[in-house]
A and B are shown apart, each in its own frame.
Chain A
Amino acid sequence: MGQRAVSGDTEHDFGAFVAARATTLLRVAYLACGDRSEAEDLLQTALERTYRNWDRVRHHSPEPYVRRVIVNAAISRARRRAILRIIPVRSLPDTPARSADVDLRQVLMDALRALPPRQRAVVVLRYWEDLSEHQTAEVLGCTVGTVKSQSSKAMAKLRMALGEESVEGVIGNARA
């Protein structure tokens, strides 16, 4: 049926969905916000919202819905924090990329955290979730053009962070 029940015994289906997909969604949340504790909180918040709408969400595909809530909540929180200056915005790491993968991971995560929230979300959706530009635009509620420009700027910064391009080249790209 295409209608939502007020409530009911939906715990079983919802529990099965969470058991199957929560780890994947937690990883999306972590990449979107850059902090494990916040990722867990984001995921729980998104799942609570999903649970409230479960009788309708379940008939479609719940995972894109949860992902959309996670990503947009991550952006929203990051912006609020920036406005309130609760967490100072980090700057891009000064050190060039190092060869060891563990160091590169740290460099990447620092660089991701330093990106503006929407740019970070674009990177996660495009290169972690493998969404198309159109799908990414739908999730973020923006135009495909915005996705393209945000992605280009974000990738330029990540390229610099990972030591693939000179600072001058990145600044040029980011301002393009």
Chain B
Amino acid sequence: MPALEDRIRRLMAEETAGLHATPDLGERVVRSARRKRKRGVFAALAATVVVAGAAPAYLTAAAGSGPTPIVTETPPPPAIDDLRPTGRPAEKTLGDLGDGRQFGNVRVGYLPEGLQWKRWSLDHGDSYTTSFDYKGDRNGFYCVQIFVHENAAVLEIDDRVSVHRQEGEGEEVAVGDRSGYAVVQNVGEDGTKGTPTFFLNMGENRRAEIMFSPVYAKDLGSAEAVNRELRKIAEGLTAIRE
């Protein structure tokens, strides 16, 4: 008789052999993720699109001069955001930020000693980011990366914090009169201890996400040092315009 472990493996293999992911899973995931991210902005637009799609039938019925509209199970047309891009858009940056302490609508009041701007940034409108390392090397690994999420992008951040909260990961941290959430995100760094992150609430329409790379967190030596430095950066991060 085979070992129990082998029997379990074989039975599991037989039990799951008939399971196959649907071919459109990837597309559905992307659409769903985008819908959640954009739902604040596109909710009204999506409703408009659906109504617009139905409008000719209703108008015809109301006029009483055409055939009775046929209700079908055809799904509504995809939201505009779901249309596949026809080409890779050029990445927009925030330009030359000098010492990098001021970018977008925020200013970095505190940076740990020895760090400088990496001469790298991305600007996607409602979300933008830049990062800092030891050498100012745009192609090297970051030590500290700061994302700022504004307006519609706030929803996605709040969703992510909500997931961490539900899963019991991280903790609420007050920074002065502002609220924050500290968590170690696992964003693919298997074999390391994850990415220490501080989500800072900078008002109704702005969130900051301050992250330490796992390597930099290790350089700092202890969880206490990581938390202290993250908090100091959060404390020093201020809005320069609303």
Out of A1, A53, A64, A123, name the residue touching B8 (CB < 8 Å).
Answer: A123
- Docked complex Cα distance between A27 and B9 (Å): 12
Q: Verify A48–B11 contact, CB threshold 8 A.
A: no
> How many A residues touch the partner, as a band?
35 or more
Which residues of B from 110 to 164 have beta carbons under 8 Å from A? 118, 120, 122, 124, 127-129, 131, 139-142, 145, 147, 156, 160, 163
Q: Verify B33–A52 contact, CB threshold 8 A.
A: yes
Q: Verify A60–B188 contact, CB threshold 8 A.
A: yes
Residue in A closest to B27 when the chains form the complex, CB atoms: A15
**Is A70 part of the contact surface with B, judged by Cβ < 8 Å?**
no
Q: Verify A9–B14 contact, CB threshold 8 A.
A: no
- Docked complex Cα distance between A36 and B18 (Å): 11
Q: Verify B4–A164 contact, CB threshold 8 A.
A: yes
Point out which of A30, A43, A52 has the most chain B C-beta atoms below 10 A from its C-beta.
A52
Flag the segment in A88-96, A100-108, A142-150 that touches B.
A100-108
A32 to chain B, nearest CB (A): 11
Residue in A closest to B29 when the chains form the complex, CB atoms: A47
Out of A15, A36, A76, A127, name the residue touching B166 (CB < 8 Å).
Answer: A76
With contacts A52-B160, A58-B188, A162-B7 known, is A31 near B12, CB below 8 A?
A: yes
- Docked complex Cα distance between A174 and B29 (Å): 40
* Chain A residues in 8 Å Cβ range of B44: none
Across chains A and B, the number of contacting residue pairs, with CB separation under 8 Å, is 154
Q: Verify B188–A56 contact, CB threshold 8 A.
A: yes
B136 to chain A, nearest CB (A): 14
Residue in A closest to B213 when the chains form the complex, CB atoms: A2
- Docked complex Cα distance between A58 and B188 (Å): 8
**Is B219 part of the contact surface with A, judged by Cβ < 8 Å?**
no
Q: Verify B5–A65 contact, CB threshold 8 A.
A: no
Which residues of A from 3 to 21 have beta carbons under 8 Å from B? 3-9, 11, 14-15, 17-19
Residue in B closest to A124 when the chains form the complex, CB atoms: B12
Q: Verify B4–A155 contact, CB threshold 8 A.
A: yes
* Chain B residues in 8 Å Cβ range of A60: 188-190
With contacts A3-B142, A48-B32 known, is A162 near B4, CB below 8 A?
A: yes
* Chain B residues in 8 Å Cβ range of A36: 19
Q: Verify A4–B145 contact, CB threshold 8 A.
A: yes
- Docked complex Cα distance between A9 and B15 (Å): 37
- Docked complex Cα distance between A48 and B160 (Å): 11
* Chain B residues in 8 Å Cβ range of A3: 118, 120, 129, 131, 141-142, 145
- Docked complex Cα distance between A62 and B187 (Å): 9
**Is A72 part of the contact surface with B, judged by Cβ < 8 Å?**
yes
Q: Verify A11–B128 contact, CB threshold 8 A.
A: no
**Is B67 part of the contact surface with A, judged by Cβ < 8 Å?**
no
Out of B5, B26, B85, B195, name the residue touching A18 (CB < 8 Å).
Answer: B26
- Docked complex Cα distance between A138 and B190 (Å): 9
Q: Verify A31–B188 contact, CB threshold 8 A.
A: no
- Docked complex Cα distance between A67 and B169 (Å): 17
- Docked complex Cα distance between A119 and B166 (Å): 21
With contacts A51-B30, A58-B188 known, is A127 near B5, CB below 8 A?
A: yes
A-B residue pairs in contact (CB < 8 Å), sample of 19: A3-B142, A8-B89, A15-B30, A17-B26, A23-B20, A25-B21, A26-B19, A31-B16, A43-B25, A48-B29, A51-B29, A52-B160, A58-B188, A60-B189, A101-B11, A105-B14, A108-B12, A127-B9, A162-B7
Known: A22-B26, A43-B25, A64-B190. 6 other contacts (CB 8 A): A2-B140, A8-B89, A23-B20, A49-B163, A105-B11, A127-B5
